[in-house]
Amino acid sequence: LRIGLAGDGARDLRISYVTELPGFRPTYRLVVQDDDSVHVQGLAVVDNPTSETWSDVGLTLSTEVPLSFRFDVRTARVANRPAFGPDGHLIRQALPSELTNVLRQNAVGANEINQAYGRAQAGQPEMSNRAGRLVGEDPSPVPAPTNGGVSNALLAFEERPSSSEGAFAEMHGFDLGGHESGLVPFVDTNTQGRMALLFKPAQGGPLSAEHPYRAVLFRNPSDAPLVTGPVSIFAGDRFVGDGVTGTVAAGAHAFVPYALERAVHVAEETAQVEDEVRGTQLNGGMLTVELRAVTRHRFDITSTQALDRPLYVYAAAVEGFEPRELPTGAIQTTRGYFLPATLSASGEATVTFDQVRRRTLRVNVASDPDHAYVPALLALLDGRPETARLREIQNRLVAIEEELDTLAEDLNVERAALSERREALDALHGVSGGNDVRARLSRGVAENVARVDGLARRASALHDEQIRLEQEWYARLRAME
């Protein structure tokens, strides 16, 4: 590094640089308070990987994903790094407007940058599967930190600015020796939260398939994700347990379980129930129907004691399905849904949660009054004056079909009897005597022929009526919209 100074005399020269560290390891403390709030404290374990001592340095902790850029002296130097969005996925930062044209003219390394985004996206920290958005959340601001009446379990951190845009605030006057590690506070504030029970079976934990966990439910108070780390849990001054959290997106609610609650038993059942069909539109005899396949989750809950905290049960998301309805207070994640359960005075509750998959079809119901989707058609047209006549036609067609089936059976019986009597008459041909028998058989044949003829005429009349009704059905539906 060559530095040239013009003129004589002494100079005070200060040289500074910016360097990136491999990362920081967070550890958290959650202090549950009596006013439905949780005090969240976060400490970052920062390593100095160099051999030089850091003295009075500025330090910024960031949850952005580092990304290397290749620069050319003729290329605009914009170290525009990806950051986590509110849902925990990587997003590109918006470029300053004055740089847009420059970058468009000197698009050096664009392909390398896109490839780097892909690699960074694949290697991003795993998001917590126990964190998500609260349904019906009150958008009121989070209460400001306060030191009045706090628990003795809280650490006394110095005041510092709040976090912004995926990076926690810069801290000055930081000292750390070479190849040493230090603890740096990066969050210390109250947020929404309380003790809770969480039923979410874990692999390798057979008891968790029947009993919920004791857990802390809290909201990430910062606008930056809280990355994975161990958690110590306090109820006031009392230590109650510890756990681990995955990455919690900004503003998301997360559970941190720490023990099993054996006083509560949960029986879970998931089943596919019969598809639902709903007519949505009729045009020119073509009916548009919405088909809904339903996956139903059922949780039967019993408790041997009164609960002093809310209970949530977890229903895994089914690919291609969406919730029929999410109750207020539920927490939605990318992998599933945490549903609140309210127990009765007897300590029992049943939670039913449906996920549905919708698809649409267009079917020609005008040409087929017996189509399986005709009930959906009539439900769609319910209340219209034409519907009564359509129901009459359908009911009459059903009755005709039933009568035709009965006539077909009777015709088979009569024809079989007629065939037997004719064979008997043929057998008596040329035999002396037996005139009385031949006479009775002849009368029986005549009666059979008359009954067969009557049944055939009735069937023919029913077929004619059936055709007329089907034509009327077709004409009416073709004229309706």
Domain coverage including residue 459: 374-479
User: What residue type is 286 in one-letter code?
Assistant: M
Cα–Cα dist 150/145, whole Å: 10
Q: Where are the beta strands (DSSP E) in 135-210?
A: 171-176, 181-199
Residue 164's pLDDT is 45
Residue 386 confidence (pLDDT) above 80: yes
User: Do 355 and 436 fall within a single domain?
Assistant: no
Residue 301 confidence (pLDDT) above 60: yes
Within a domain: 422 = yes
User: Do 160 and 293 fall within a single domain?
Assistant: no
Res. 125 pLDDT band, cuts 50 70 90 = low
User: Do 403 and 427 fall within a single domain?
Assistant: yes
Last residue of a domain, one of 364, 395, 416: 364
Q: pTM of the predicted model, to two decimals?
A: 0.62
Residue 274's pLDDT is 74
Within a domain: 77 = no
Count structural domains, the chain.
3
Within a domain: 217 = no
Within a domain: 278 = yes
User: Do 246 and 309 fall within a single domain?
Assistant: no
Q: What is the mean pLDDT of the chain?
A: 80
User: Do 235 and 129 fall within a single domain?
Assistant: yes
Within a domain: 142 = yes
User: What residue type is 276 in one-letter code?
Assistant: E
User: What residue type is 379 in one-letter code?
Assistant: A
Cα–Cα dist 93/357, whole Å: 35
- By the 8 A CB rule, do 350 and 301 touch? yes
User: Do 388 and 468 fall within a single domain?
Assistant: yes
Residue 37 confidence (pLDDT) above 60: yes
- By the 8 A CB rule, do 292 and 356 touch? yes
User: Do 277 and 310 fall within a single domain?
Assistant: yes
Within a domain: 4 = no
User: Do 271 and 398 fall within a single domain?
Assistant: no
Residue 22 confidence (pLDDT) above 80: no
Residue 213 confidence (pLDDT) above 70: yes
Cβ contacts of residue 155 below 8 Å, gap of 6+? 29, 41, 185, 188
pLDDT, one tens digit per residue, over 191-208 is: 999 999 999 998 877 899
Within a domain: 456 = yes
| CATH code for position 426 | 1.10.287
User: Do 465 and 338 fall within a single domain?
Assistant: no
User: Do 34 and 176 fall within a single domain?
Assistant: yes
Residue 122's pLDDT is 55
